[in-house]
């Protein structure tokens, strides 16, 4: 259950931080933020619900998505430390969401290497498993519907 919430928190914080700092209106100057945004969405919508029902495939997908998110995290952390002085703690606090993929990779890798899938405890009730897996998908659907009014799909 801890890993489920770690996937969700990591995906939400990374998505929010990238969209806040970079946005998507700047164009494709670098593909690292775009890959990180896509992987944070996939971590939220695919890996978190899958880990509820099949822990092995949820762990593998979460590890892959988090590994793809780490190059942008490294780039951003190095850039922030290089651009700011060490007395500026506010700019260093913005690095916290970018550290979460490393925590996810470490924790997921540890569980996958030791093959201790029993560490992931979820309720036995089918209704609670469906609710846990449907919540990220529904939240993402609400997000897409809420921003879709800003786009004109009909030409």
Q: Cα Rg for the chain, rounded, in angstroms?
A: 17
Q: Is residue 30 part of a domain?
A: yes
Q: How many domains does the chain have?
A: 1
Residues 100-142 pLDDT 10s: 999 999 999 998 998 877 657 777 888 988 999 999 999 999 9
Which domain covers residue 10, as residue numbers?
A: 2-148
154 lies in some domain: no
Residue 153 lies in a domain: no
CA atoms within 13 A on the CB side of 76: 25
Please give the pLDDT value at position 115.
85
pTM metric for this prediction: 0.84
The 3 state secondary structure assigned to 18-45 is: HHHHCCCCCCCCCHHHHHHHHHHHHHHH
Residue 116 CA to residue 120 CA, distance in Å, equals 8
Task: Give domain status of residue 36, yes or no.
Answer: yes
């Amino acid at each position: 259950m801890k890993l489920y919430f770690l996937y969700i928190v990591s995906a939400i914080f990374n998505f929010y931080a990238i969209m806040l700092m970079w946005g998507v209106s700047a164009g494709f100057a670098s593909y690292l933020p775009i890959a990180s945004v896509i992987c944070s969405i996939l971590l939220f919508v695919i890996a978190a619900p899958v880990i509820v029902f099949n822990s092995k495939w949820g762990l593998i997908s979460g590890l892959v998505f988090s590994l793809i998110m780490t190059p942008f995290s490294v780039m951003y952390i190095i850039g922030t430390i290089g651009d700011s002085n060490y007395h500026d703690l506010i700019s260093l606090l913005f690095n916290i969401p970018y550290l979460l993929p490393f925590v996810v990779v470490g924790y997921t890798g540890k569980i996958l290497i030791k093959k201790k899938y029993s560490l992931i405890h979820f309720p036995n009730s089918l209704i609670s498993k469906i609710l846990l897996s449907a919540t990220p998908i529904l939240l993402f659907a609400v997000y897409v519907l809420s921003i879709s009014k800003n786009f004109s799909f009909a030409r």
